[in-house]
A and B are shown apart, each in its own frame.
Chain A
């Protein structure tokens, strides 16, 4: 099951090391975008958004339709994020806000119903076929060669862009007035209301921001991942693993955990191809046993 020779050989060769490290980063960074939205919503609203993968799917489909008309990748990604964000606000206002503070089972049921309805809507609008958006012409370039390894320009761009979006999100939450208000409202929402601030509006905006992060991940990945109804489910499971490892509510934690998972996948495909998923869950189990709050959250487990 374990092929340590292959692993040692790989890291003995610069080209193999470059290939596997960059592929780990690209898997990790897209996962980070999705997971950061999930962890943000949990951290502030204390809601586990089981429907988060749906916004990843919605973002990808919105981007696809925009790309059909405009052939602009960046505009498509923006529309994907915006569409997922607005859809997220709608979901928060109409459905999930009704079950804030209620039993987790009730939240799960509302989210599951929403997933099924949205999947069917996607089927009605875009059909059941798998759709490929295709790689934008500006990125149809020969891969960069770094120490003999291959790095596709699109992936290099995605890694940098994801990192920038992640940093901007952290700054938005920690340094801006918007961030201060939502963090204060998370601690004591009646007090913030008493100051004349419309807390539900801020909660809705924050929920929309979380969904927009999932949406932009779906939109950015759309050129290389075939689009199908229900495509959000696979990424949801991995996002949960990231959130558990990194710590519920911690965006830097999500970043590190997503990179750990990305590297586990890429290094695993060389050294232990049959145990990649197993190892991901094993890491999660170890974190849960020794630090149940996750790597980057202080305090006791919830």
Chain B
């Protein structure tokens, strides 16, 4: 009797189980997963320690604006975005290792790489190898996307590109050089891929627009070097008419403080492309007057309600002022979210790549309120590029001029041809 009862029970169980399995087979597993509201995990590596740790911090706060917006609106088909971040300490090998770990151990389905150039090239190859959709949000080295050898079908860049800044900055600086009769230029740049490429591109375009300009001295401090005295005195000895520097972050703060001791900024005109980031401008105790700098992120450029709203949302979730890296991280996240919406939350790299190539989104940082990731070279265009002159008080930059993208497109194409990229 007991056995009989058990048999019945087993039979009923089998029936129910088969019914359940059939239902699952018909409707598919993804819906069960969606019903479970499993979040889409986004793996982020960035620099959260060392001299530029503040920039990594502003990366996370920047992308939080976009993540909060989508999650508060219910996520993507009910699935929320979850950012899992790791500190690479700016080391390429560490960034590569952590990227693999984020995918293999943490179950990240997509990657937003927020590393400087050195580590970005390493992560680029990891993304190629493990075939995960990835957007680089920070590296500005032009060859990352311009050189077809580096390009990966499912990897994109949502950041400035050196060549764009070089053309915009070159035109801006050449006008000042002509007006003030500046002929002899010196350069001071960090000694790694970004510093060398950026300086070469900037000087190339400056000379193109003002052919009588010469570079007389170049000095290459190491990245994160504590003391710049020997570089500063080398610049003073050269007595140039003007200086160009692409030092950035805490390095730029230290350089400016040390150079001020020698009165360097009183002796010749200076251009510092990375000067216009708020935490840098506020960290320098006595900002020298009349240094020309790029407006990396500025809440009044463009002077729109959308930009102001973004700034306020950012500041509500951060105790550090936004940087260039903040808007770039926010932009990368927005392109990812838009692509995920188009694929219905499917993280297949080729499907996401198809949704991203040539995609245009609304953005507070675009010159006309929009930005595009170009299909042909997977890189961001139409973002604000602007230069201004330092003043000693808030907002620290004045006389800001925006670069014209029509000029940039023309010169970028010529540059690509010269480099044999197209």
A residues touching B (Cβ–Cβ < 8 Å)?
A: 10, 13, 15-16, 19-20, 22-24, 26-27, 30, 119, 123, 128-135, 139-140, 142-143, 150, 152, 154-155, 221, 223-226, 228-231, 234-235, 265-266, 268-270, 273-274, 276-277
Interface-located stretch among B121-129, B231-239, B404-412? B231-239
- A23 surroundings in chain B (CB, below 8 A): 229-230, 232-233
Number of interface residues of B (CB under 8 A): 41
- A270 surroundings in chain B (CB, below 8 A): 234, 237
Q: How far is the CA of A24 from the CA of B282 in the complex (A)?
A: 30
Q: How far is the CA of A24 from the CA of B284 in the complex (A)?
A: 25
Q: How far is the CA of A130 from the CA of B224 in the complex (A)?
A: 11
Given contacts A30-B227, A132-B254, A229-B49, 12 further A-B contacts (CB under 8 A): A19-B236, A23-B229, A24-B230, A27-B227, A27-B229, A132-B285, A150-B263, A154-B261, A229-B53, A231-B51, A269-B231, A273-B220
- A226 surroundings in chain B (CB, below 8 A): 51, 250-251, 253-254, 257, 283
Quick check: is B286 within 8 A (CB to CB) of the other chain?
Answer: yes
A140–B233 CB distance below 8 A: no
B261–A143 CB distance below 8 A: yes
B226–A225 CB distance below 8 A: yes
Q: How far is the CA of A57 from the CA of B320 in the complex (A)?
A: 23
Chain B residue at smallest Cβ distance from A134 = B285
B54–A128 CB distance below 8 A: yes
B51–A130 CB distance below 8 A: yes
30 A-B residue contacts at CB 8 Å? A10-B237, A13-B237, A16-B237, A20-B233, A27-B229, A30-B227, A128-B49, A129-B283, A130-B253, A130-B283, A132-B284, A134-B285, A135-B285, A142-B263, A143-B261, A143-B263, A150-B262, A155-B261, A221-B227, A223-B257, A224-B261, A228-B250, A229-B50, A231-B226, A265-B230, A266-B229, A266-B230, A266-B233, A268-B230, A273-B218
Q: How far is the CA of A27 from the CA of B221 in the complex (A)?
A: 14
- A269 surroundings in chain B (CB, below 8 A): 219, 230-231, 233-234
Chain B residue at smallest Cβ distance from A230 = B50
List the 4 shortest-distance A-B pairs measured between CB atoms, nearest first: A134-B285, A130-B250, A128-B53, A152-B261
Do A135 and B262 contact each other (CB < 8 Å), given the known contacts A26-B229, A128-B54, A130-B249? no
Chain A residue at smallest Cβ distance from B261 = A152
Interface membership of chain B positions 80-91, coded 1 if the CB is closer than 8 angstroms to chain A and 0 otherwise: 000000000000
Kindly provide the distance from the CB of A295 to the nearest chain B CB, expressed in whole angstroms.
23
B230–A130 CB distance below 8 A: no
Quick check: is B23 within 8 A (CB to CB) of the other chain?
Answer: no
Kindly provide the distance from the CB of A27 to the nearest chain B CB, expressed in whole angstroms.
6
- B57 surroundings in chain A (CB, below 8 A): 128-129
B49–A123 CB distance below 8 A: yes
Chain B residue at smallest Cβ distance from A130 = B250
Q: Which residues 115-162 of B have a CB within 8 angstroms of A?
A: none
Q: How far is the CA of A23 from the CA of B249 in the complex (A)?
A: 24
B233–A19 CB distance below 8 A: yes
Most A-side CB within 10 Å, residue of B218, B232, B250, B320 = B250
Do A235 and B226 contact each other (CB < 8 Å), given the known contacts A13-B237, A130-B250, A228-B250? yes
- B231 surroundings in chain A (CB, below 8 A): 269
Kindly provide the distance from the CB of B284 to the nearest chain A CB, expressed in whole angstroms.
7
Q: How far is the CA of A230 from the CA of B261 in the complex (A)?
A: 25
Do A277 and B222 contact each other (CB < 8 Å), given the known contacts A134-B257, A270-B237? yes
